Chains A and B, each alone.
Chain A
């Protein structure tokens, strides 16, 4: 039986993330830290002609944090920077409300993270990689 928080897809992503690693020459890169638990996520992007061609992550953290980072790297590949930013906004507003409305964009496997709403202190675990994406894009 699937656990309401620790869905199988979350545990799969966190134990075996497909895009884990560092990029040699990222065009965009940033590191996010959650000071209360010490989780760290580093994101690497190669953007060409305004399209995210590659996205990878490195980090240490709980399964929610790592799964979210892993899903991010899969979800944002091939998207334009603007589409990716819209996706980030859509995911963030979908996950941070108690009664979610259907998202304007297809969140696909990220919907598995919705269980975190019942555990408000864990919300920041699910958002760490996304906030890091946002700062990486605004920095470079």
Chain B
């Protein structure tokens, strides 16, 4: 038994489900998480036991595939406490979900002169769809700035609310700083102005227990591959009333009720769209991906989201303590472990993040370096980038020790040059 500063050692037992971690110190889960064996199995079973399309065939295997597919939708709904599985749309990931939203909801709801609020800590994928929408519609983007600690500057609220914005596009958790945005404070203030609230949950849903009703938001998007699931599958959840009013976004098979030739109709076709959620799911979906997502949810729930969160708070506390001992290391983001997720951005003596990440990589420590798809945030800070270590349920204090010693070694390479 190795020593651990906290009872989170019990999380060591999950390492067996992740063979990749045997030889690697993986501290880049905010980019993509590792898949545990039960998730890998769920996906390969789909192919090994016979791949069938869903919502099409009438033979038994296809029916079974459809059942399993729709059961996962119900699982997703339960996981985020949605009122109905009809509110959960499968997308290819968070980026796809936000683009769907910005096009379908955005183009029918945002008009010339309207204001939409976007924060400066957004990932490009929750920024560019909205700035592009504003451009097309002649709307205005109001930027929500940050405090020096990297939290939303709540003093800017009167300025933003005073414009009665039509939309707030905000991340739940910052992928650079780990900041957990206080939705419980923010959401009611915007709701009073009639603002629709779309939350980017890519970094939030994998780490925090989620209850969309309690959050009081209108839309939430997230990706499976950051929550122990596969790439290429994600979810857009929206309140039923919004989704029903929105026009379809991707056209093709499965998303219609009927297509009938009719001479009087426009282009000679009378089309009736399918009911929710199928109206938004044209084309063959990522079936094995959906099975993987379902297995990932089972896996996370078998551990318990509260336990995962508690484990990450302990890791944050330990990482903070351990990295603060390193001379010349600056940590970014909120200092209280409770106010951040398992994401830690830092600078070491001004060594360029790519140089630092290369040196850490050489020691078998995988971290991310660069602008993290948040260039406006970096410009605001007059930084080119940061080096980022991010944790998940399988991260151990030993990983953080390895990071700390790799950092010490990296500093010695640049000794005298920074």
Contact surface of A with B, Cβ cutoff 8 Å: 3, 5-6, 11-12, 14-15, 36-39, 60-64, 119, 122, 125
Q: Are A63 and B385 in contact (CB under 8 A)?
A: no
Besides A61-B352, A62-B352, 4 new A-B residue pairs in contact (Cβ under 8 A), listed by A number: A37-B385, A38-B385, A63-B355, A119-B358
Partner of A122, one of B354, B371, B385, B416: B354
Min distance, Cβ A37 to any Cβ of chain B, angstroms: 5
Q: Are A61 and B413 in contact (CB under 8 A)?
A: no
Would you list 30 pairs from A and B whose C-beta atoms are within 8 A, ordered by A residue? A5-B358, A6-B355, A6-B359, A6-B413, A11-B414, A11-B417, A36-B370, A37-B354, A37-B369, A37-B370, A37-B385, A38-B375, A38-B378, A38-B384, A38-B385, A39-B354, A39-B384, A61-B352, A61-B384, A62-B352, A62-B354, A62-B355, A63-B351, A63-B352, A63-B355, A63-B417, A64-B354, A122-B354, A122-B358, A125-B354
Query: Which chain A residue shows the least CB distance to B356?
Result: A62
Number of interface residues of B (CB under 8 A): 19
B58 at the interface (CB under 8 A from A): no
Tell me the complex Cα distance, A16–B351, Å.
14
Tell me the complex Cα distance, A5–B355, Å.
10
A-B contact count (CB 8 A): 44
Query: Residue among A3, A12, A38, A122 with the most chain B CB within 10 A?
Result: A38
B418 at the interface (CB under 8 A from A): yes
Q: Are B355 and A15 in contact (CB under 8 A)?
A: no
Query: Which chain A residue shows the least CB distance to B372?
Result: A38
Tell me the complex Cα distance, A64–B414, Å.
13
Query: Which chain A residue shows the least CB distance to B417?
Result: A11
Partner of A15, one of B353, B369, B370, B417: B417
Tell me the complex Cα distance, A5–B361, Å.
13
Q: Are B384 and A15 in contact (CB under 8 A)?
A: no
Q: Are B418 and A37 in contact (CB under 8 A)?
A: no
Residues in B with CB closer than 8 Å to A38 are 370-371, 375, 378, 384-385
Min distance, Cβ B400 to any Cβ of chain A, angstroms: 25
Tell me the complex Cα distance, A6–B351, Å.
12
Residues in A with CB closer than 8 Å to B417 are 11-12, 14-15, 63
Residues in B with CB closer than 8 Å to A36 are 370
Q: Are B352 and A6 in contact (CB under 8 A)?
A: no
Residues in A with CB closer than 8 Å to B378 are 38
Tell me the complex Cα distance, A88–B56, Å.
58
Residues in B with CB closer than 8 Å to A60 are 384
Query: Which chain A residue shows the least CB distance to B416?
Result: A11
Residues in B with CB closer than 8 Å to A119 are 358
Min distance, Cβ B382 to any Cβ of chain A, angstroms: 10
Residues in A with CB closer than 8 Å to B353 are 62
> Which residues 386-418 of B sit at the A interface, judged by CB distance below 8 A?
413-414, 416-418
Min distance, Cβ A32 to any Cβ of chain B, angstroms: 15
Q: Are A6 and B414 in contact (CB under 8 A)?
A: yes
- CB-based closest 10 A-B pairs: A62-B352, A11-B417, A62-B354, A38-B371, A15-B417, A37-B370, A62-B355, A60-B384, A63-B355, A3-B413
